Structure 1
Amino acid sequence: MSQSLPPLVVDLDGTLLRTDTLWESFLGLLRRRPWRILWMPFWLLQGRAVLKVRLLAEALPDIEYLPLREEVLQWLQAERCRGRRLILATASPASVGQVLAQRLGLFEAVVGSSDTLNARGKAKLALVRQYLGELPFEYLGNSWADFPVWAGAVEAHVVGTPRFIRRVRRHFPRGRDFPQPLRWSALLGLLRPYQWVKNLLVFLPMLLAHRVLEGALWGKAIAAFAALSLVASGLYVVNDLLDVEADRHHPRKRFRPLARGDVPLWVGMVMAPLVFGMGFGIAGAVLPPLGVLAVGLYGGLSAAYSLWLKTLPLLDVLALAGLYTVRVLAGGWATQVPLSGWLLTFAIFFFLSLAFLKRYVELRALGGAELPRRGYTSQDEALVRTFGIASGYLAVLVFVLYLNSPAVVTLYREPRWLWLSVPLLLYWIAYLWLSAHRGRMPDDPILFVLRDPVSYIVAAGLLGLFVLGSA
Structure 2
Amino acid sequence: MTDTAVLRQRATPERRREPAPPRGKALLAGLLRTARPRQWVKNVLVVAAPAAAGELFSRHTLTRLALVFVLFTACAAAVYLVNDARDAEADRAHPVKRHRPVAAGQVPVPAAYAVGGALGVLAPLVAAWLCPPPVAALLTAYLAMQLAYCVSLKHVLVVDLAVVTTGFLMRAMIGGLALGIPLSRWFLITTGFGALFMVAAKRYSEAVQMAEKDGATRALLTEYTTGYLRFVWQLAAGVAVLAYCMWAMEEGGVPHTSVLPWRQLSMVAFVLAVLRYAVFADRGTAGEPEDVVLRDRALALIGVAWVAMYGLAVANW
TM range (shorter): 0.7 to 0.9
CA distance in 2, matches of 1:356, 1:326: 18
Tell me the residue number matched to 1:423.
268
Indicate conservation of the 8 Å contact 2:22/2:106, yes or no.
Answer: no
Partner of 1:139: 15
Counterparts of 1:412 and 1:205, CA distance in 2: 20
Match of 1:466 in 2: 310
Q: Give the corresponding residue for 1:307.
A: 151
- The one-letter code of the counterpart of 2:134 is L
Larger Rg: 1
Tell me if 1:400 matches 2:245: yes
The aligned counterpart of 2:131 is: 287
Aligned-pair RMSD on alpha carbons?
2.9
Per the TM alignment, residue 183 of structure 1 is displaced from its structure 2 partner at its CA by 5.5
1:96-153 CA distance string (max 9 Å, x none): xxxxxxxxxxxxxxxxxxxxxxxxxxxxxxxxxxxxxxx54431232xxxxxxxxxxx
Determine helix, strand or coil for the equivalent of 1:375. Answer: helix
Q: 1:319 to 1:139 in 2, by over 3 A?
A: same
Of 185, 190, 195, which residue of structure 1 is paired with 2:39? 195
Matching of residue 376 in structure 1 with residue 236 in structure 2: no
Instruction: Deviation per CA, 1:289-345: give whole Å up to 9, x if none.
Output: 111112112212212222222111111111111111111221111111111111111
Q: CA deviation at 1:214?
A: 3.1
- TM-score of the aligned structures, taking structure 1 as reference length: 0.59
* Superposition deviation, residue 346 in structure 1: 0.8
Alpha-carbon spacing, 1:387–1:439, altered in 2? closer, same or farther (3 Å): closer
What are the equivalent positions in structure 2 for 1:120-159 lying under 5 Å apart?
A: 135-142=11-18, 159=19
Q: Looking at secondary structure, tell me which structure has more strand per residue.
A: 1
Counterpart AA for 1:160: A
Instruction: Pick from 244, 248, 252 the counterpart of residue 88 of structure 2.
Output: 244
Percent of residue pairs bearing the same amino acid type: 26
- Say which of 230, 234, 237 aligns to 1:385: 230
- In the alignment, is residue 453 of structure 1 matched against residue 313 of structure 2? no
> Which residue of the partner structure matches residue 343 of structure 1?
187
Distance 1:201-1:334 versus aligned 2 partners, 3 A rule: same
Cα distance in 2, alignment partners of residues 219 and 5 from structure 1: 73
Matched with 1:217 is 61
Higher relative contact order (CA 8 A, sep 6+): 2
Q: In proportion to residue count, which structure has more helix?
A: 2
Does the Cα contact within 8 Å between 2:47 and 2:65 map onto a contact in 1? yes
State how far apart, in whole Å, the 2-side matches of 1:214 and 1:432 are: 33
On the 8 A contact 1:237/1:268 being kept in 2, the answer is yes
- Matched with 1:160 is 20
How far residue 358 of structure 1 moved from its aligned partner, in angstroms, is 2.1
1:231–1:379: structure 2 CA closer, same or farther, 3 Å change rule? closer
1:6 CA displacement: 7.1
User: What residue is the counterpart of 2:113 in the other structure?
Assistant: 269
Structure 1 position 249, deviation (Å)? 5.3
Aligned residues: 309
> Which residue number corresponds to residue 209 of structure 2?
365
Name the CA shift for 1:468/1:373 in 2 (closer, same or farther; >3 Å): closer
* Cα distance in 2 for residues equivalent to 1:345 and 1:214: 27
* Shift in CA distance, 425/459, structure 1 to aligned 2, threshold 3 Å: same
Secondary structure at the aligned position of 2:16 is classed as strand
TM superposition score normalised by structure 2:
0.85
Q: Which residue of 2 aligns with 1:26?
A: none
SS in 1 for 2:26: coil
**C-alpha separation between the residues in 1 aligned to 2:112 and 2:151?**
16
Shift of 1:464: 0.8
Gaps of 5+ in 2: none
CA gap of 1:411–1:249, structure 2 versus 1, over 3 A, is: farther
- Choose from 288, 291, 294 the match for 1:444: 288
- CA–CA separation in structure 2 for the residues paired with 1:324 and 1:336: 19
Unaligned runs of 5+ in 1: 8-83, 85-134, 143-158, 164-179
